[in-house]
Amino acid sequence: MVVALIIACEVGFWVLLALGLGARYLLKWRRTSVVLLLCEPVLELVLFAVTAYDLKNGAEPGWEHGLAALYIGYTVAYGHYTIRWLDGHAAHRLAGGPPPAKPPRYGMPRARHEGRLWLRTLLGAAVACALLQGAVWYVGADGDVSSLRSFQWTALRVAGIHGLIALTYLIRPKKGPASTPEVRAERRKQEAQR
DSSP 141: T
Contact between 121 and 159 (Cβ < 8 Å): yes
Distance of CA 74 to the CA centre of its chain: 4
Amino acid at 184: R
Domain that holds residue 59: 2-193
DSSP 135: H
Amino acid at 64: E
Dump pLDDT digits (tens) for 30-56: 999 999 999 989 999 999 999 988 888
Question: Which residue in 117, 123, 112, 87 sits closest to 174, CA to CA?
Answer: 112
State the pTM of this model. 0.83
**What pLDDT does 177 receive?**
72
Domains of the chain: total: 1
Per-residue pLDDT of the chain (194 residues; tens, 9 = 90+): 788 999 999 999 999 999 999 999 999 999 999 999 999 899 999 999 999 888 888 888 889 999 999 999 999 999 999 999 999 999 999 988 899 989 998 889 999 999 999 999 999 999 999 999 999 898 887 778 888 999 999 999 999 999 999 999 999 988 877 656 766 777 777 777 76
Question: Which residue in 76, 70, 68 sits closest to 8, CA to CA?
Answer: 68
Question: Which residue in 110, 121, 129, 120 sits closest to 159, CA to CA?
Answer: 121
Amino acid at 119: L
Could you tell me where the DSSP H helices lie in 26-106? 30-38, 40-56, 63-95
Calculate the alpha carbon distances from 52 to 18, 59, 62, 167 in Å.
29, 10, 13, 37
**What pLDDT does 132 receive?**
94
Question: Which residue in 154, 124, 151 sits closest to 2, CA to CA?
Answer: 151
CA quadruple 122, 116, 64, 17: dihedral sign = positive
Amino acid at 140: G
Amino acid at 183: V
**What pLDDT does 74 receive?**
95
Question: Which residue in 84, 50, 85 sits closest to 69, CA to CA?
Answer: 50
